[in-house]
Structure 1
């Protein structure tokens, strides 16, 4: 796939596949698609554009541009858009559900085991190792995002550093910094005409109890829905961009989870396929059981669904405007800064001794040296290391 600064003009085309074929493909990708958003969008290009020729290169690039512009998880939004290309709103809806559902069911199952057996040593040992590896993965992701998106732009570097510092100091993500960064870069690079006068640059529980609604804390569910809908509406960038935002709300503000549980939630997202932000389903399960998971996941993904299908018919006309491109660049720089700050904040809780520090550094080294090593493989190896090291270092 070649890079192109300008979006290829998309010509109308007739589908060479059925809607259900695309739904089945996305269901499979959501089941085995490891590696995070960058890998997932790469799989879609390889399978749907290059191999099967279901989607044209122009349609794919158009979907990528829209997914990067709108807040929400990149891979899920691209999948929704590709469903929209030939089968409009029904296709977008079914494809989005197929892509997210497998990983949602996985994190609910893991959440049930975690909640029921979280105090058992083997699970603590697994997350002892995995938590440290996750810090290394986040750190490498932040590095890659920084070099790719910020480069030598001094204004973007200032925004990145300010956002990282604020995240470390406040231990939370401040949405207004994101929006302010977007507006600042917009005004600097592509000011509106009215400003251009000068130059401006429980597994064992009965199944019925698992799904019961008569014992629910409806107030808590309402809080969950509102918080995750807010997160899904204002977080730009890759799946990891939501981590600092969730940390600030789930741990610092609402105290729904401990810092240890939050790191474990991020780890669960790393070891399951599909979109990274499905960790919201795991968090929701820990807070309010199955229906908490449903509310949290729906709150996160419904906004990104709407942000994809509503502007899709109009995006070809306005998506290349310099003001919009500049705004997205500013928001992206702030998001990368927040991810970097979050790695430091969360690292304080996961890096507690020499073995965990070594695991984090080894993870960084492996990902640096062997760029094609899948992140889930690193996490599985870290889990095995945790099983070995935890009894020796924590509970001999």
Structure 2
């Protein structure tokens, strides 16, 4: 990766950091566009595997970006992607949190918080579509639909331990459903 490519990738992830209001899942679709479609650094399946590996790692979910950067462009890709995603959003949250503490009763703050919910939901769903695409194109849509239904069911059964849902996903994978 040349110096110019490094700066370009870092700048693109710096812009994405401003959309990562809902965490890394909110920017998965654009991350896919940057690393798979534009740079051809990963395949669709490789991207999905990188997301799974990043989610399985202990620590914050933003490590998904580090894993994908490494897989797409090695150590410099990791630095460009992770540095680009962390610096602007960290500085913005640092400044915004000081303002929010002072104005916790502000109508503007409440409107911002309420407005972020549909944005985060839409961006997260776009990321889900990107992650599902390799499996759906292989004709495994039925297993995917069943697994999605189970995942939605977890919203209504939040008392089940997270490991139970992980076991359901693992069983679906072992059976070749997804």
User: d(CA) in 1 for partners of 2:129 and 2:89?
Assistant: 28
In 1, distance between residues paired with 2:172 and 2:22? 31
* Residue 102 (structure 2) aligns with: 317
Cα distance in 1 for partners of 2:128, 2:17 equals: 21
Q: In structure 2, what is the equivalent of residue 326 of structure 1?
A: 111
Match of 2:122 in 1: 337
Measure the CA separation in 1 of the matches of 2:29 and 2:43.
14
> Is it true that 1:242 corresponds to 2:27 in the alignment?
yes
| 1:364 matches 2:135 | no
**Partner Cα separation in structure 2 for residue 335 and residue 241 of structure 1:** 6
1:256-300 deviations in Å (ceiling 9; x for gaps): 322222212221232122222211101110122123212211211
- Whether 2:75 is the aligned partner of 1:287: answer no
Higher helix fraction (1 or 2): 2
Q: Which has the larger radius of gyration?
A: 1
1:302 Cα deviation (Å)? Answer: 1.6
Computed over aligned residues only, the root mean square deviation of the Cα atoms, in angstroms, reads 3.0
CA distance in 2, matches of 1:366, 1:312: 34
CA shift for structure 1 position 229: 1.3
CA distance in structure 1 between the partners assigned to 2:145 and 2:98 by the alignment:
50
CA distance in 2, matches of 1:311, 1:341: 27
User: Per-residue displacement from partner, 1:2-21 (whole Å, max 9, x unpaired)?
Assistant: xxxxxxxxxxxxxxxxxxxx
Q: Judging changes above 3 Å, is the alpha-carbon distance between structure 1 residues 328 and 282 closer, same or farther for their aligned structure 2 residues?
A: same
Relative to structure 1, the CA distance from residue 253 to residue 330 in structure 2 (aligned partners, 3 Å threshold; closer, same or farther) is farther
Distance 1:368 1:314 in 2: 33
Instruction: Give the alignment partner of residue 162 of structure 2, picking from 374, 379, 390.
Output: 374
User: Which consecutive residues of structure 2, in runs of 5 or more, have no partner in the other structure?
Assistant: none
Gaps of 5+ in 1: 1-215
Aligned length in residues: 174
Using the TM superposition, give the Cα deviation of residue 362 of structure 1 relative to its aligned residue in structure 2, in angstroms: 6.3
Contact 1:263 1:350 (C-alpha < 8 Å) held by counterparts = no
When normalised by structure 2's length, the TM-score is 0.76
How high is the TM-score relative to the length of structure 1?
0.38
- Matching residue within 282, 291, 302 for 2:87: 302
Question: Higher relative CO (CA 8 A, sep ≥ 6), structure 1 or 2?
Answer: 1
Alpha-carbon contact 1:239-1:275 (below 8 Å) kept: no
Assess if the C-alpha contact under 8 Å between 1:271 and 1:379 holds in 2: no
